[in-house]
Amino acid sequence: METKRLRIAMQKSGRLSQDSQALLKSCGLKINLREDRLIAHVENMPIDILRVRDDDIPGLVMDGVVDLGIVGENVLEETMLERQALGLSVEYKTLRRLDYGDCRLSLAIPQEQVWSGPESLAGARIATTYPNLLKRFLAEQGVKFKPVMLTGSVEVAPRAGLADAICDLVSSGATLEANGLKEVQVIYRSKATLIQAAQELPADKQALVDKLMPRLQGMLQARE
């Protein structure tokens, strides 16, 4: 599916959408976003913005279906591990780590429970949306556990009797606290990042990326 326009994938609606749109606009892109559209055309440059679920972005870049993508490193790393296991391509280039989307993937347990390190979780059922990152971490610690895969409401799993612990994204910690859980171990720190497909771009598209990157660097440096 060749196209002359540079394709950038970003989250359609969610925590990274506003900041990602604002960042692209600050680099001079005039984006006409209609809420319902999958593809938004940039009016003043040969660029199309693809608005998708964040989970789809790493695969679109690694398959070379889009040229660039903005996604949380947590989703990028989880997808990489998943694709590796499936024997799919996991290549991409990081253009720039961004300054928003900060969070950490952490283990949390019921407040009243004692924590004496990851070995406390031996044999435990752990609910998560990030089974691969969790497996990698606990394998490094030599701890065996039972993954409970949930794509939402992870924080209620212990109270619902579905799990003994959770592994979920945390930013302020308010969600954990509201659910009677405490954060005991950070396993991955994440921010949003701008990535590019691994294969070489046609010269005109690469020239456009090369023109945009200094603007982006400048923007990010100015607000450091």
Residue 105: which of 172, 186, 192 has the closest Cα? 186
Tell me if 106 contacts ligand PRT by CB under 6 A.
Answer: no
| Residue number, 55 or 99, with CB nearest to Zn ion | 55
Tell me if 168 contacts Zn ion by CB under 5 A.
Answer: no
Long-range contacts from 53-56, C-beta under 8 angstroms, 24+ separation: 53/11, 53/12, 54/11, 54/14, 54/16, 55/79, 56/9
CB 105 within 8 A of CB 130: yes
Stretch of residues binding ligand PRT (CB under 6 A), selected from 68-76, 84-92, 159-167, 213-221 = 68-76
Residue 73: which of 174, 155, 193, 164 has the closest Cα? 193
Give exposure, 172-196, as e/b (b: 16+ Cβ within 10 Å).
eeebbeebebbbbbebbebebbbbb
Using the rule CB under 5 A, which residue among 5, 27, 55, 65 binds Zn ion?
55
Q: Minimum Å distance from CB 190 to ligand PRT?
A: 5
Q: Minimum Å distance from CB 58 to ligand PRT?
A: 11
Stretch of residues binding ligand PRT (CB under 6 A), selected from 11-19, 35-43, 111-119, 141-149 = 11-19
Tell me if 157 contacts ligand PRT by CB under 6 A.
Answer: no
- Give the number of residues in contact with ligand PRT, rule: CB under 6 A: 21
Residue 106: which of 178, 189, 192 has the closest Cα? 189
Tell me if 76 contacts ligand PRT by CB under 6 A.
Answer: no
Q: Residue 168: in which H helix or E strand, if any?
A: strand 165-170
Site string for ligand PRT, 14-43 (x = CB under 6 A): xxx---------------------------
Stretch of residues binding ligand PRT (CB under 6 A), selected from 30-38, 84-92, 120-128, 172-180 = 172-180
CB 6 within 8 A of CB 67: yes
Tell me if 82 contacts Zn ion by CB under 5 A.
Answer: no
Helices 131-140 and 73-86: crossing angle in degrees, nearest 10, is: 80
Site string for ligand PRT, 111-150 (x = CB under 6 A): ----------------------------------------
The residues binding Zn ion (CB under 5 A) are 54-55
The residues binding ligand PRT (CB under 6 A) are 11, 14-16, 53-55, 72, 74-75, 101, 103, 168-175, 190
